[in-house]
Amino acid sequence: MHERKLLRAVLGFLYGHMFFLYWPLYRAYKSRADQHERAWIRQLIAPGDVIVDVGANVGVYSVFFSELVGPRGAVFAFEPDPQNFARLARTTAGLARVFPTEAAVGDETGSIQLFQSKGLNFDHRTYANPDDEHSVSVAITRLDDVQALEDQRIRLIKIDVQGFELSVLRGASQTLARNPDAKILLEYYPWGLSAAGGSPQAFIAMLKDGNYVVRSFDPDANLLFDGIGRTRDRNWFRNLVIGRHADDSVSGMTHVSLEPR
């Protein structure tokens, strides 16, 4: 616990006072920590593809995506926190095919309170938790209300919103219907889903109703949805890939059953 607090303090200091050091260090950390996810993404994405980055933070994934889609593709990046968005705009300023929007994404269009973490710029949430310092009102939009996405053929939607995933998906029903081949990379975070006003049960029910195929990078993936009781564990999550069609051409994934064993 002490080491975790120390890491939060160091990252928070670098982010606030030495972003020129924070940026390469955090990029290197994410490249290593998410190596399996990135290997899968490299197999999936081709030049010219369109990606939606929900919860883009300071742009680590938006920059990575832009390298894959090239000059004929596009990356639509959404980030609600004002300071994070300013960093995102800076890190993607030279990338003509990255389109940043300062907004949260959910199941409504208007405004919402964003609760800002004291120490970590990538841990802001749409609900209060003990690590929050204060909240700020930010814009929120449904993906279905984003006109720029209406004519796009979306290949990947990446969602990193600390438990607000269910709301994001509910607000993207038309977008997903127009893009049946799109894959979605997101966190399954039971504690966050409940804290954000949803539940793991509602998330699983949505996947079933949408006839989604679910895959994981975890070799014990079939145990994932037996872990509904993990709503008590604030630190437990797993990255999932969901889509309406299985894609056997993309390797390295484990199928997840939506029926608890």
For the cut 60, the answer to whether the pLDDT of residue 121 exceeds it is no
* DSSP category for residue 125: B
User: CA–CA separation, 45 vs 193, rounded Å?
Assistant: 28
Residue 93: left (phi > 0), alpha (psi -120 to 50), or beta? alpha
pLDDT tier for residue 177 given thresholds of 50, 70 and 90:
very high
The 50-54 sheet, strands edge to edge = 98-101, 74-78, 50-54, 154-159, 183-188, 238-243, 213-216, 254-256
Q: The domain spanning residue 17 has which CATH number?
A: 3.40.50.150
Tell me which range, 16-30, 119-133, 168-182, 187-201, is most confidently predicted by mean pLDDT: 168-182
pLDDT of residue 151: 95
User: Would you state the pLDDT for residue 185?
Assistant: 97
Q: Which residues pair with 216 in a beta bridge?
A: 240, 254
| Exposure b/e, 62-101, CB count within 10 A at least 16 = b | bbbbbebbeeebbbbbbbbbeebbebbbebbeebebbbbb
| Residue 79, domain extent | 2-256
- Higher-confidence residue: 63 or 9? 63
Q: What is the mean pLDDT of residues 3-12?
A: 67
Q: How many domains does the chain have?
A: 1
Residue 140 has pLDDT above 60, yes or no: yes
Q: Is the pLDDT of residue 30 over 80?
A: yes
Tell me, what's the pLDDT at 223? 61
Res. 82: pLDDT tops 70: yes
Q: Is residue 261 part of a domain?
A: no
Query: Is residue 181 one of the residues assigned to a domain?
Result: yes
Q: What is the mean pLDDT of the chain?
A: 87
Residue 81 has pLDDT above 70, yes or no: yes
To which residue do tokens 């929120």 refer? 140
Q: Return the closest-CA partner of residue 80 out of 56, 104, 96.
A: 104
Average pLDDT over residues 23-52: 94
Q: Is residue 88 part of a domain?
A: yes
| pLDDT band at residue 161 under the 50/70/90 scheme | very high
Give the residue-averaged pLDDT of 216-244: 76
Least reliable range by pLDDT among 27-31, 136-140, 143-147, 217-221: 217-221
Does any domain span residue 121? yes
Q: Under a CB-based contact definition with an 8 Å cutoff, are residues 175 and 149 in contact?
A: yes
User: Of 105, 125, 101, 121, whose CA–CA distance to 113 is shortest?
Assistant: 125
Structural domain includes residue 227? yes
Nearest CA to 107 out of 165, 150, 170 is that of: 170
pLDDT band at residue 52 under the 50/70/90 scheme: very high
| 181: number of Cβ within 10 Å | 11
Residue 72, pLDDT score = 96
Per cent of the chain over pLDDT 70 is 84
Tell me what pLDDT residue 46 has.
Answer: 97
For residue 149, what are its two tokens? 């996405």
pLDDT band (50, 70, 90) for residue 119: low
